[in-house]
Structure 1
């Protein structure tokens, strides 16, 4: 995947949110400046549609806290995109979080989105994340 120089990379899962920037060139990313924005997960209606009877019977109900966290991360990214603080952004999230995030993308964020990777990489090293971006 081609990741523009200075593009933001948002790493999200149900509990963690980290933002980094690409200090390298588009085909050889070098992630730097990792920050963990403080989020307030308030959208607990985010995953209600996942709480159906069939899912509860099979024991596959989705955790509302995790989906609310994904919605809060998206709200943070939306605000930065609207304010012009993010020009290009790559979102890397586990499939469940990414699905919830897509429901909350603002049109401004959609214009700045350079890609998505549906993998859980929040616990990985920076080198591993850079490799996953290059391979995508």
Structure 2
């Protein structure tokens, strides 16, 4: 479930989520930690983590005072499904027999649209996306350039039904 933008903003206003200062240095250090493979992930306080697959999306905030992984799950409502234009859809048939895939792609597009909205209204300062490879690929097609600039990490893993501790360990060990 995805939290509404007002829910996240009110949580931030209440001081429950600390915002890290937006700087290229923080983003560069996070990306360097991921790219070298030698360091564990340094997740700035206030980072939003989206864990998705073709059916669900779970949202978390990193609430630690020090850089690290201290995730708190945010309750959310599912995004409204965005259906592709009828003339742009791939209909099921011999070339594409899986109609379920179309539903998953629509959900991924709706999830990306929701993340775009949160980014544009300033709710998301930094973002880590954890998703199965197919859904992540579909979401990337729909990410706005503003949101792309806030992504400090992407993990192509299906962790949507895993416990919070596993997700935190995955990010910390990345």
The two structures have a TM-score, normalised by structure 2, of 0.68
1:69 equivalenced with 2:103 (yes/no) = no
Q: Whole-Å Cα distance in 2 between the matches of residues 111 and 17 of structure 1?
A: 21
- Cα shift at 1:52: 7.9
Q: Is the Cα contact below 8 Å between 1:44 and 1:65 reproduced in 2? A: no
- Alpha carbons of structure 1 residues 22 and 44: separation in structure 2 relative to 1, 3 Å: same
Q: Which protein has the bigger strand share?
A: 1
1:2 equivalenced with 2:37 (yes/no) = no
String of CA shifts for 1:29-83, please: whole Å, max 9, x gaps: 01104222331112345x9469684554xxx776111111111000000001011
- Alpha carbons of structure 1 residues 62 and 85: separation in structure 2 relative to 1, 3 Å: same
Q: Whole-Å Cα distance in 2 between the matches of residues 52 and 130 of structure 1?
A: 41
Provide the secondary structure at the position in 2 that maps to 1:121. Answer: coil
Q: Which residue of 2 aligns with 1:12?
A: 52
Q: Whole-Å Cα distance in 2 between the matches of residues 6 and 67 of structure 1?
A: 29
Q: Runs of at least 4 residues of structure 1 off by over 3 A? A: 47-56
The two structures have a TM-score, normalised by structure 1, of 0.85
Q: Which residue of 2 aligns with 1:87?
A: 125
Provide the secondary structure at the position in 2 that maps to 1:2. Answer: coil
- Alpha carbons of structure 1 residues 5 and 64: separation in structure 2 relative to 1, 3 Å: same
CA RMSD of aligned residues (A): 2.2
Q: Is the Cα contact below 8 Å between 2:54 and 2:108 reproduced in 1? A: yes
User: Which runs of 5 or more structure 2 residues have no equivalent in the other structure?
Assistant: 1-40
- Matches of residues 103-118 of structure 1 in structure 2 within 5 Å? 103-118=141-156
Q: Whole-Å Cα distance in 1 between the matches of residues 126 and 91 of structure 2?
A: 31
User: Which runs of 5 or more structure 1 residues have no equivalent in the other structure?
Assistant: none
Q: Which residue of 2 aligns with 1:21?
A: 61
